[in-house]
Structure 1
């Protein structure tokens, strides 16, 4: 059975869902490396291989697209969907599988938001609220905030390792093998 037909404004052969994913990937790159005022829907469309009107159809405005890029809530829902006693391995496996299945990291875009303009600050604030603070609220025991920050740092480190060497041992390892090796260190922080 064939999937839904691509909208008339999408390039031939473009799946609407894949087009949306391509737009989000291109927008994440654009907003991470350029100031908000310099980013245009046309440049994002060109990078994504879609029309600017498809971006408007999915996100309405550049602000709507930025808000979608800056929303870590769906990532948090996927990452934290395990009981605390198995969360360390789950975090690793979920992060690695998402990268392999979708070609992008759930969290790493926050690393590139180191500028001081309002939009990059907003990206960091949303990451802190939707990922780090939400994780801290799940933890029990002492130093929950500190442990949550260390856990997110380790997850960002894993994403960086995957990005830096795309053909090395980390890239070749299965999500389960990485979960078995890297998950226990994260689990120790979860357990406190």
Structure 2
């Protein structure tokens, strides 16, 4: 009886909100829960309770938990933090962000990878989001602002992100002594490497 009343209450709340608003609320709650625990640990029931909707409604909007997770993957916040400011300072900016961003941030690539179920669907969703939200942004800035034309912007963007992602991985799980390195020394060393990659070089003679 209580369960029936709860469902009715939820349905009334859903009816009072446009579908787009409901979907946005579901995505926001899902993103928060997926950033706190692994994919397997978060249930549709928990997401439904957090969003104030019914689990069947989530399935209606997103078809499955896997598809819902896919739509929560968004690295645009990460890109905005990594690549803000003048081009000639992007090496320093991106390294500083990589070394200081919260390890539990929902926009962290490494964090997102560690909470997935490891399925092809989840990993594909992460790859698509990285290309859409991060690589394309960096490629465009290289194309428009880099002082040298070679190599091609796509290769430079991939190389820079490989370095940043590797550093993030080492910071989180790859080196138990990572925190022993002086932050300024790390920033100075890696910032120069990233900036060299982004700047590129003149065409070979």
Whole-angstrom distance in 2 between the partners of 1:21 and 1:126: 14
| CA drift at 1:109 | 4.3
Structure 1: gaps (5+ residues): 1-18, 46-50
Rg (Cα) greater in structure: 2
Equivalent in the alignment of 1:178: 186
Aligned-residue RMSD, C-alpha = 3.4
The 5 Å alignment of 1:83-162 reads 83-99=86-102, 102=104, 106-109=108-111, 111=113, 115-117=119-121, 119-139=122-142, 140=146, 141-142=149-150, 143-162=152-171
Q: Secondary structure at the match of 2:101?
A: helix
Whole-angstrom distance in 2 between the partners of 1:121 and 1:67: 9
- What does the per-residue CA deviation read over 1:15-34, in whole Å, with 9 as the maximum and x for residues that have no partner? xxxx988524135x31xxx5
| CA drift at 1:191 | 0.9
Q: Secondary structure at the match of 1:71?
A: coil
Whole-angstrom distance in 1 between the partners of 2:30 and 2:93: 26
Change (3 A) 1:120 1:89: same
Whole-angstrom distance in 2 between the partners of 1:105 and 1:171: 22
* TM-score normalised by the chain length of structure 1: 0.65
CA contact (8 A) 1:92 1:175 kept: no
Whole-angstrom distance in 2 between the partners of 1:105 and 1:130: 10
